[in-house]
Structure 1
Amino acid sequence: MKSAFFIICSVALVFSQPLMAKPDHEKALPPGLAKKVESGKPLPPGWQKKLSPGQFLADDYYRRSTILKKPDADGIITVQIEGTIIELFEHSREIVRILEGKR
């Protein structure tokens, strides 16, 4: 009886591991771009094309952003990075919407 329970628990644990894997919250910037960002230079044209809803905003981009709206009831903040307005969840930095242009 105990061995059957042990086998069932072991199988359940093996199959649950992929479900509990930590999502890839952030992809680091390439070394050359990270160096430019650290020195205060502007981001290259086209950086916005690499972002899409459902992805997570990299720390490097978030540090360069200006907060336009504080978190609402759902925890969504609005930030602006070089003219691009992005709505994202405050704690996870998951992108909800990307709005082009300036406000």
Structure 2
Amino acid sequence: MAQHHCQMSLEDFINVSGPEPLAAVQRSRMKDNFYSIVNHFRAAETSDNVYSRLLLVCYMYEYCRSELSQDTPLRTFYDFMGLDVFEASGLRTTQPSPSTSLDIPKSSWKAS
């Protein structure tokens, strides 16, 4: 059989590399936010539930073998909740828009 010289590897189409690991500070802040959100909803959960979604999410995170492997459930949780990973970790803060910083009353203008 003739070899196909035009065959391409799946690696040319699929990015097999994962995201960069979270920095220790970023992971710590995300973890704190994760538990505060989970604890908020745990207080509202009724005890007669046979199945606890909160426990499933917590156990999925807690039973990861290493901190690096905990990055995946943290990122997934933040994506699902619609939270910004960088904002939650303190790496990016909201900036005022230029229009709000230029709101200077005309009475304070000085004539040249």
| TM-score, reference length from structure 2 | 0.27
Greater Rg by CA: 2
Higher strand share: 1
Q: Which has the higher contact order (CA 8 A, sep 6+)?
A: 2
